[in-house]
Chains A and B, each alone.
Chain A
């Protein structure tokens, strides 16, 4: 049975594995950078969106026949949708980073 030990027949195996590990590491670093940028823009967007949804009805009176309260509600609805979709993207990016 001792004679059944096989040798890796692919001479470039070691180089391939190390190259793939390097690729994985650079992909991980790149995702980390993306996450940092995403968090910054997410926080900025959330702050600006919250401020806009609070102050917009006070600044505007009517726009094309729609009252300021109506515009405020529409804006808040759009803001919530965008906020949730971006949050979901951010969470999936964090999960991807954890998997790598």
Chain B
């Protein structure tokens, strides 16, 4: 389906680009929030990324998937914005290493509470870690796809994913203790 709309946009049908905006805005927003940790900044990032994607759509190499290409633009724009604003990202400090990780507490929560705690924990993770978790689990991307989207090596993706999972559980545990 994407291919048809890519051809339409390349042929000059600007309004066909609306299809991509509608289809990918939520995931692009999730990816951007993972990096910049701010909804307003993330909106600007995604907007800029879509405009850049529109400008470069003729150079899009159809060997890769459109969403892979788009998320790469979003990630580049998000890190660029993060460096520009020099926003202080609250990263998780490993001071809870000795605590016991208990996933059963999360599972016992209501769905809305689970969503709240997961998003709060993702906010506290470093941009790289929250980004890798969202890409890997939300998009069902393989390690290879994640490498393509981020431009990182396979070993870096695996290590970051491992640390991200571990830190995520530790942060969740910490959150449950603060907000029982």
A residues adjacent to B (C-beta < 8 A): 1-10, 13-14, 16-18, 20-22, 24-25, 100
Contacts and interface: CB of A to CB of B under 8 A. Distances in A.
Interface of B: 14-15, 17-18, 21-22, 25-27, 29-30, 33, 39, 43, 46-47, 50-51, 54-55, 111, 114-115, 118-119, 122, 133-134, 137-138
5 contacts: A2-B137, A3-B118, A5-B27, A8-B29, A14-B21
Contacts of A3: 111, 114-115, 118
A17 B43 contact: no
A85 B134 CA distance: 52
Contacts of B29: 6-8
Given A4-B118, A7-B26, A24 B43 contact: no
Contacts, number: 71
Q: Chain B binding site: helix, strand, loop or mixed by DSSP?
A: helix
B47 A9 contact: no
Contacts of B111: 3
Given A8-B46, A20-B51, A21-B54, A14 B22 contact: yes
Contact of B47 (A1, A17, A22): A17
| In the complex, the 7 A-B pairs of residues with the closest C-beta atoms, listed nearest first | A1-B137, A3-B115, A6-B30, A4-B118, A8-B29, A8-B25, A17-B50
A2 to B, nearest CB: 7
Nearest to A1: B137
Contact of B43 (A4, A5, A10, A25): A10
Nearest to B112: A3
Contacts of A8: 25-26, 29, 43, 46
Contact of A6 (B18, B26, B55): B26
A18 B27 CA distance: 18
